[in-house]
Amino acid sequence: MQEQSITHATFAIERRYPATPERVFAAFADKSVKRRWYADAKQMAVEEFEMDFRVGGRDIARFRFGEGSPFPGTALVYHMTYQEIVPNRRVIYAYTLTFGDKIVSASLVTFEFLPAGEETDVLFTEQGAYSEGSGGPQMREQGWRTLLEKLAGELAE
């Protein structure tokens, strides 16, 4: 039997933020705020960041790895389509990730914003199909943990 070339996996991350659900949701809905925590990175240049935050809307984030990174000059592209947006409660979208010229994964992502007193619990779930050479769900989970930490820094300001 031939070895499987796609890994299917689901992972979840829970984080508590010292902000209201309205403020956390706004960090997803406001293009300039989302760009700061989601797109701006030290080892990659942002070549394109477009956002259409509505059901059926599409986002694109295109990056290029810089010198000193593990993949200098390589493009990384996210294409997203919003499936459901419930203000201050939930965001669901589907996305593909392209590395160089190859789609390396396709995923469905759910963010839930749950009030916790004066804070918010964010429940993040990704269900994905990851191709060989993509780093699999472990690499994607690490990437999301990094982004959610950047979101914490954004909300602390």
Q: Is residue 147 part of a domain?
A: yes
- Give me the number of domains the chain comprises: 1
Q: Is residue 49 part of a domain?
A: no
Question: Which pLDDT does position 9 carry in this prediction?
Answer: 96
Q: Is residue 106 part of a domain?
A: yes
Domain containing 152 equals 8-40+86-156
Q: Is residue 72 part of a domain?
A: no
Report the CATH number that the domain containing residue 139 is assigned in CATH. Answer: 3.30.530.20
Q: What is the mean pLDDT of residues 91-115?
A: 96
**Is the pLDDT reported for residue 53 higher than 50?**
yes
Q: Is residue 93 part of a domain?
A: yes
Kindly report the average pLDDT of the chain as a whole number: 93
Using an 8 Å Cβ cutoff, are 154 and 33 in contact?
Answer: yes
Question: Which pLDDT does position 1 carry in this prediction?
Answer: 47
pTM listed for this prediction: 0.92
Q: Is residue 55 part of a domain?
A: no
Question: Which pLDDT does position 43 carry in this prediction?
Answer: 80
Give pLDDT tens digits for 54-88. Answer: 999 999 999 999 988 888 999 999 999 999 999 99
Q: How many CA atoms lie within 13 A of 80 on its CB side?
A: 22
Q: Is residue 128 part of a domain?
A: yes
Q: Is residue 3 part of a domain?
A: no
